[in-house]
Structure 1
Amino acid sequence: MFDKILIANRGEIACRVIKSARKMGIKTVAVYSDADKEALHVQMADEAVNIGPAPSNQSYLVMDNILKAIKDTGAQAVHPGYGFLSENAHFFDALNEIGVEFIGPEKLAIQAMGDKIESKKLAQKAGVSTVPGYTDVVRDTDHAVEISAEIGYPVMLKASAGGGGKGMRVAYNEEECRDGFERATSEAKSSFGDDRVFIEKFIEEPRHIEIQVLADKHGNAIYLAERECSIQRRHQKVIEEAPSPFLNEETRKAMGEQAVALAKAVDYRSAGTVEFIVDKDQNFYFLEMNTRLQVEHPVTELITGVDLVEWMINIADGQELTIKQEDVKINGWAMESRVYAEDPFRNFLPSTGRLIKYRPPIESDTVRVDTGVYEGGEISMFYDPMIAKLITHGKNREECTENMRRALDEYYIRGVGHNISFLNAVMSKQRFIDGALTTNFIAEEYPDGFDASMVPQKDPKNLVAVACFMKRMESEREVMISGQMEGGRGRLLNDEWVVLYNDQKFNATVTPNPTEGYDIEINGTEMHIRSEWTFGEPLFFADINGTEICVQVDRMATGYSLFHAGAQADVKVLTKRHAELNDLMPFKAPPDMSAFLLSPMPGLLLSVAVEEGQEVKAGEELCVIEAMKMENIMRAEKDVVIKKIHASAGGSLSVDQKIIEFASED
C-alpha cells in the first residue's frame, strides 16, 4: 500500500480524499494556489505545496507544477479528484513516466471516455443505447446550424471535453443554435482548453440517471445501483438522490449491466460513472462516462456502505475487488443538496467574500457534510462557488427528505449569499415529494425565476412565538439587572406586545408556564414554547406545541431577523405605545438606479457590446460578464440610448458596480 499520496485538487473533494486516506493510514500532500493558502484542505493534509497564482490555468491546471510537487514530496500516487486534470490522458502519461500511480483508470479509458464524441462511438460499438446525434466535431456556426436542422430541434450543444454544466447550451431554433455554439465554444476553451463541440438530440421531459461502477485490474467489475440527478439548473446538478424514485428493478438491472459492459469494453479500472438519459417509459440512452469520482458519490456510499475513495486507492494499489455483484444491497435512501455561494433571488448569481459565520449541521448517522470551507475563510471568484455538499440518509425517501430539510434549517451561513432557501423551496414542491422529476423540473416550476414569494410560507405564529420568547427573556434579564424583579420569573410590567412580522401585525401575551417555557397567546391562539436557547446563540431549537423547530436568529437594532424552512422574516416585538409610534414613521424610498446597468455579481467584464450615444433595442446584448468560468450575457430590458460607459472590458467588477448609464427618457 502507498505511504503517501498527493491530491491534485482543492476544496471539498480534496478534504474528502484526505479523510479516507487518513483512515487507511496514508499520509497526504495538498497542493494549493495563492488564493487557497489558508484553505481547509491545506490545513488537513500532512504536507502542502504552493503551485502558482490564483487562476486555475496558472496553478491547478499546470501539470509541471504538480509534477514538481510530487517529486519534491516523494508522493507515490496521485488522486485527481474531479475537474482539473482528473480526465487528462497527458497527466496520466506524465505520472507514468516518473513511476507514480494514478488513482483512476488507465489511459485507454481516459482517452475513450473522457472525450464525449469518442465515448459515444465506443458505446454504440459496445451495444449501449445512445442518443441520436452528430458525433464528429462541429466545424463552425454554419455547420452547427446545418447539423441541428438535420437532427431536428431542440438540440443540445455540448463541449467534447466538458463537465459541470460548462460548455453546454440547448437550442430550440437557428438563432439560439448560433448563439449557443459561440457560447459553448468560448466556455469550453476557457474552462477546459478544448473548444470542440458536438450536437445531439435534446430529449424533452428526461430524467438524468447514472450508474456507479467499480472495476479492478483483474477483470472484475460491478455496479452500485443508480443515482437520480434530474434536479438541475443550467445543466448543473442541484439535488441528487439514491436510489431513483422512478426506476423499477428490471430497468435498474439493465442499466447496470450496460454500464459494466461499457466499463469492460475500455478495460476500466477504478470508480467511474456511466450517465444515462431516461424517458417517461424508462427507455434509457447513454450520455457519457465520467472516468473519475463524481460530486454526488456520497449518496451511493450511504446506501451501499462502500467507501468509493478507499476502493479507488485499493484498486490503484493492485488489489482485487472483494465485493461481488450479489453483495451489493440498497439500504434506505440518501439525498445530497449542493450548497452554493449564490443568490437565488438575483438569478442565482455567484456570491464571493468571507464566511463571517459558518456553522454546518452536526454530523451523525443521518447527516453528512462534505465541505472545504470554514468560518473566516473566503469564497473566491476564481473557482466553483460550492460551499458544501449536505447529505442525509433515511430508511425511506420521506424520512430522508425530512432529515434534509431539518439539516438545511440548521445550516448557518453569513457573509456570502447562499441557495439554502431555494433548496428548501424545491423540496416543498408536490412534484418533488411525489418523485415526478425531470431535468426540466426547475425551469417548469420556476419559469420566471425564483423570488422570495416562492419560499414555502408556514404558519407565521411559530416565528412570532420564537420572537416573543426571546423578547421575554431579554426583558427578564433587564429587570433582574436593574433590581426590579427579585428572582423567579414573575409578571413583568410589559408582557403584552404587538409583533410586527414583515407586513403583518399580531397581538401577543406572554406568561411563564408553571413548569417550563412560556405560554403565549397570539391573536387568540394558545401556544406553549419550550427551549434551552441562550443569548447569542444563532440557532434557536425549540418545542412549540409538541413540534420540534429550528430557527436561525440574527439580532437587529429593533428586533430579530429569523430564518426557517428557507424563509426569512424581520420581526419586531413592541409595546402597544411603541407600535402606535412606529406607524407614524415615514417610509424612506431607496434611490432610483433604473438608469444604470449594475453588475449583478463580482467578476470579469469580458466585453462591452455598445458605445456611448448608441440606440439599443430591447433584448440586444450590452456586455458579457464572466464569473466562476461561466459567461453571463447582460441584455437591454427595453429600448435605451447609451449615455455613458463606466467600466472597461478586461476590468474586474464588484457587486452593483456601475457598468453602463442610460440616457433619460425625458
Structure 2
Amino acid sequence: MISKILIANRGEIACRVIRTAKAMGIGTVAVYSDADANALHVALADEAVNIGPAPSNQSYIVIERILDAIRQTGADAVHPGYGFLSENAVFAAALEKAGVIFIGPPVGAIEAMGDKITSKKLAADAGVSTVPGHMGLIADADEAVRIASSIGYPVMIKASAGGGGKGMRIAWNDAEAREGFQSSKNEARASFGDDRIFIEKFVTQPRHIEIQVLGDTHGTVLSLGERECSIQRRNQKVIEEAPSPFLDAATRKAMGEQAVALAQAVGYHSAGTVEFIVDGDRNFYFLEMNTRLQVEHPVTELITGIDLVEQMIRVAAGEKLSFGQDEIRLNGWAIESRLYAEDPYRNFLPSIGRLTRYRPPREGVQPDGTIVRNDTGVFEGSEISMYYDPMVAKLCTWSPGEAGTARLAAIDAMGKALDAFEVEGIGHNLPFLSAVMSQARFRSGHITTAYIAEEFPDGFTGVSPDADSSRKLAAIAAWINQRLQERAARISGTIGNHLRIVGKQWVVILAEFEHAVTLETDAAATFALFEDGGRMAIASDWLPGRSLAAFDVDGDVMGVKVDLVGSAIRLRWRGMDVTARVRSPRVAELARLMPVKPRPDTSKMLLCPMPGVITSVMVVAGEHVEAGQTLATVEAMKMENVLKAERKGVVKRVAAATGQSLAVDELIMEFE
C-alpha cells in the first residue's frame, strides 16, 4: 500500500484527499504557493512544501516544483485533485519516470481522452454519438469564423485542454466567433498552458448529464450512475444532483454502457467521468471525458456509498475493485450547491477579501434522516485571493427514499442548510442558491443548461418577499424589536418606581410592504396581530448579538440571519435580503414625510466590476464608440471579462492602463 501521498493541488479538493488518506492511515504532503501559506490544506497535511509565488503558472502547474517537493518529502504517490496538472500527460509521465505512483489514469488514457479533440475522434471511431464540429486545430480568428459559419451558429468555442468552464465561449455570429476565439485562447493559455482551440455545434436546450466510471488495473471498469449538471453559468456548473430527474432506466443503462466501453477502449483505470449532452427526447451525444476526479463527485459518493478517493488510491496501489456492476445501487437523492466567492447582485462577478465570518451548517445525519456534507478548503479568517478559482465550498445534502419524494426532501434539506450557512466579508452566491431551491421549475426537474439565462434573464436581483413571507418577516422584526426595547428599558433603569413602558404597537416597513403589528404575550406564547385580523404565534432562541437564529412562526421553523444595522433590522432568509424598519405609529407617520436621497450618477463612467488586472484597453481619449464595442478586458480568478459600451458615446479620459490592478468600482474610463 502507498505510504505517503503528495496532493498536487490546493483548497477544498486538497482537504478532501487528505481526509480520506488520513482515514486510511496514509501520510500526506501539501504543496502551497506564497498566497496559500496559511491555507486550510496546509494545516491539515502532515507535511507542507512551498512551491513558489501566488500565480499558478509559477507554482501549482510548474511540474519541476512539484517533483522537487516529492524529492524533499519522499512521497511515493501523488494525487492531482482536479484542475491544475490533473489531466497533464507530461506530468503523469514525469512521475512515472521518477518512480512515483500517479493516483489517476495511465498516461495513454490521459493523452487519448484528456485532449478534447483526440477524445472526440476516438469516440466517433468507437461508434459513440458525437456532436457535429471541427475536430482539427484552428490557426487564427479568421479560420474560426469560417469554420463556425460552415457548422452553423450557434457554436461552442472550446479549449482542447480545457475543463471547469475555462476557455469556453458560445458564439451566435461572426463577430462573437472572432472575439470568443481570442478570449478562449487567452484563458486556455493562462489556465492550462495550452491554447489549442476547437469548435463544435452548440446544441440548444440541452441537458448536461455525466456518467461516473471507475476502473482498476485488472481490466474491470464500472459505471456508478449519472449526475445531472445542467444548472450552469458561464459554462461553470453551479448545482448538481444525482441521479438525474430526467433519465429513465433504459437511457441510464445505455449511457453507462457507452461510458464503460469508451473507457475500456483506452485502457482506463481510476475514477473518470464521461460527459454527454442529452436532448429533450433523451438522445445523448458524447461531449468529453474528464480523466480525473470531478468537482461534483460527492453526490455520487452519497448515493452509492463509495468513497471515490479511497478507490482511486487502492487502484493506484494495484488492488482489484472489491465490488462488481451488479452490486452498485443508487440509494436516495443527493444535491450539491457550489458556494462561490462572487457577487450575484453584480452579474456574479468575482469577489475577493477576508472571510470575517464562515460558519457552515452542522454536518452529518440530521433529525429528519437527511445528511448534510460540506467539502471546503477555508476557515473563518481565510483570505479569498484573485489568483485561484472562486469556489469556497461544496454544500451537499442527501435524502433516503424513492426518487420523487427523496429529491424534494434533499432540496428542502439544502434550503435549510443554506439558511444556516453564514458567510461574511466577501460577495457570495448563497442568496442565489437559496432562490433556486425554492423555484417551482427547479423543484419539478424541468431544467436545461439554459436554466439560469431563462429564469434570471436580467441577472439576479434577489428574492422579493411575497405577501405571506413579508408577514412572517414582519412578525420576526417586530419580535426582535420588542426584545431590544425591553432590554434597553431594563438597562436604562426606572422612571420613579416603574420601568420605562415599552409599546406593543409597531409599524414594520420592509421591501414594498408596510405592516401594522401588535405584539401580545401570554403565559404560552407571543402573538403578532395584524390589522386585518391575522394572527401568528412566534417564538425564538435569538439574543442580541446572535447572527443566526431559529424562529418558529406558526409552526414553520425558519433559520434567519439577523443583523442590526443602526436602528434597522436586516433579515436574510431563502434568498431574501430585507432591511426592516420597526417604528412606533407616530414615528412611521412622520417618516413618510421625509425626502428620499438620490443615488449618485455614474452613468458616464466605466467602473471596474470586480477586483482584477486590466489586460487590455481598446480605446483612447476622444474616440467615438458604438454600443457593444469592446472597451477593455479585466482578468480575475483565471477568467477574462470583456467590458463593452452600453451605448454610443465619446471617451473623455482613460484612467486605467494595461497591467494595472484595480479594486471593485475603481474608475477605468469616463465619457463626455
Does residue 416 (structure 1) correspond to residue 441 (structure 2)? The answer is no
- Alignment match, 1:375: 380
Q: CA deviation at 1:580?
A: 3.1
**What CA distance in whole angstroms lies between the structure 2 residues aligned with 1:216 and 1:8?**
22
Alignment match of 1:652 (pick from 658, 661, 664):
661
Shift of 1:582: 2.7
TM-score (norm 2): 0.96
2:651 to 642, 651, 658: 642
Return the match for 2:440 from 418, 430, 434. 430
* d(CA) in 1 for partners of 2:494, 2:504: 15
Q: Secondary structure at the match of 2:276?
A: strand
Mean Cα displacement is larger for which, 83-92 or 183-192? Answer: 183-192
1:204-251 Cα offsets, whole Å, 9 max, x none, are 111100000110011111010000001111111111000000101011
The change in CA–CA distance for 1:483 and 1:453 in structure 2 (over 3 A counts) is closer
Q: Deviations over 1:583-623 (max 9, x none)?
A: 34332223222221111110000111111111111111111
Contiguous gaps of at least 5 residues in structure 1: none
Give the aligned partner of residue 531 of structure 1.
540
Task: Quote the Cα distance in structure 1 between the aligned partners of 2:202 and 2:528.
Answer: 56
- Say if 1:480 and 1:486, in contact at 8 Å, map to a contact too: no
Q: Mark the runs of 5 or more structure 2 residues left unpaired by the alignment.
A: 366-370, 401-405
User: Quick check: 1:522 aligned with 2:527?
Assistant: no
Matches within 5 A, 1:206-285: 206-285=206-285
- In structure 1, the residue matched to 2:189 is 189
Does the 8 Å CA contact 1:370/1:389 hold for their aligned counterparts? yes
Matches within 5 A, 1:278-357: 278-357=278-357
Q: Which moved more, 1:586-595 or 1:648-657?
A: 586-595
Matched with 1:540 is 549
Identify the match of residue 570 of structure 1 among 579, 599, 621: 579
CA deviations 1:57-79 (Å, max 9, x no partner) are 01101111111111111111110
* Alignment partner, residue 152 of structure 1: 152
Q: Which residue is 1:444 aligned to?
A: 454
Which residue, out of 599, 603, 606, partners 1:594?
A: 603
What amino acid sits opposite 2:422 in the alignment? Answer: Y
Pairwise CA distance, 1:485: 10
CA distance in structure 1 between the aligned counterparts of 2:508 and 2:496, rounded to whole angstroms: 27
Query: What's the secondary structure of 2:15's corresponding residue?
Result: helix
In 2, Cα distance between equivalents of 1:605 and 1:403: 42
Contact 1:344 1:451 in 2 (8 A): yes
**Bigger Cα displacement from structure 2, 497-506 vs 564-573:** 497-506
Whether 1:605 aligns to 2:614 is yes
TM-superposed deviation, 1:454: 6.5
CA displacement at 1:149 relative to structure 2 = 2.5
Q: Equivalents in 1 of 2:439, 2:669: separation in Å?
A: 39
1:393 has 2:398 as partner: yes
Contact residue 134 and residue 147 of structure 2 kept, 8 A: yes
- Give the partner amino acid of 2:135: T
The separation in 2 between residues aligned to 1:456 and 1:5, in whole angstroms, is 53
Change (3 A) 1:455 1:209: farther
* Contact kept in structure 1, 2:276 and 2:286, CA below 8 Å: yes
> Is 2:633 the partner of 1:628?
no
> 1:259/1:505 Cα in 2 relative to 1: closer, same or farther (>3 Å)?
same
Q: What per-residue deviation string (whole Å, max 9, x for no partner) do you get for residues 298-328 of structure 1?
A: 0000000000001001111111001110001
Deviation at 1:537, TM superposition (A): 1.4
2:416 match: 406
Question: Is contact 2:489–2:502 with CA below 8 Å preserved after alignment?
Answer: no
Amino acid at match of 2:165: G
Q: Residue 633 of structure 2 aligns to which amino acid in structure 1?
A: V
- Distance (whole Å) between structure 1 residues aligned to residue 468 and residue 592 of structure 2: 26
Please state how far the C-alpha of 1:126 moved relative to its aligned partner: 2.2
Distance 1:249 1:454 in 2: 39
8 Å contact kept, 1:224–1:328: yes
Aligned match of 2:625: 616
Shift of 1:47: 1.1
Cα distance change of structure 1 residues 453 and 531 upon mapping to structure 2, 3 Å threshold: closer
Task: Report if the CA contact (8 A) 2:470-2:513 is conserved.
Answer: no
Q: Deviations over 1:409-431 (max 9, x none)?
A: 11111111111121222233322
Q: Partner of 1:495 in structure 2?
A: 504
CA distance in 2, matches of 1:486, 1:45: 64
Contact 1:421/1:455 (<8 A) preserved:
no
Cα offsets for 1:432-469 (capped at 9, x unmatched): 12111111111122223222357878521111111122
Q: Deviations over 1:508-528 (max 9, x none)?
A: 11122312x411113332111
SS at match of 1:459: helix
- Find the aligned partners of 1:522 and 1:357 in 2 and give their Cα distance: 35
User: CA offset at residue 350 of structure 1?
Assistant: 0.6
CA, structure 1 residues 456+292, in 2 after alignment: closer, same or farther (shift >3 Å)?
A: farther
| Structure 1 residue identity aligned to 2:372 | V
SS at structure 1 position matched to 2:364: coil
Structure 1: distance between partners of 2:86 and 2:251:
30
Residues 422, 566 of structure 1: 8 Å contact kept: yes
- Matches of 2:39 and 2:358, distance apart in 1: 14
Matches of 2:36 and 2:265 in 1, distance apart?
A: 39
Secondary structure, aligned partner of 2:520? strand
Alignment check: 8 A CA contact 2:463 2:577 kept: no
Q: Deviations over 1:550-570 (max 9, x none)?
A: 100111111211100011110
**In structure 2, what residue type is equivalent to 1:370?**
D
Number of the residue aligned with 1:506: 515
Q: Distance in 2 between matches of 1:146 and 1:575?
A: 69
Alpha-carbon distance in 1 for matches of 2:163, 2:559:
37
Identity %: 58
Aligned to 1:108: 108
Residues 428, 456 of structure 1: 8 Å contact kept: no
Q: What letter is aligned with 2:398?
A: H
Amino acid at match of 1:307: D
State the secondary structure of the residue aligned to 1:255.
helix
What SS is found at the alignment partner of 2:549? strand
Distance 2:269 2:592 in 1: 70
In the alignment, residue 14 of structure 1 is paired with which amino acid?
A
User: Secondary structure of 2:387's partner?
Assistant: coil
- SS of 2:542's partner is coil
Q: 1:360 to 1:419 in 2, by over 3 A?
A: same
How many Å separate the matches in 2 of 1:642 and 1:282? 51
TM-score by length of 1: 0.96
Q: 1:486 to 1:80 in 2, by over 3 A?
A: farther
Q: Is the 8 A contact 1:455 1:566 kept in 2?
A: no
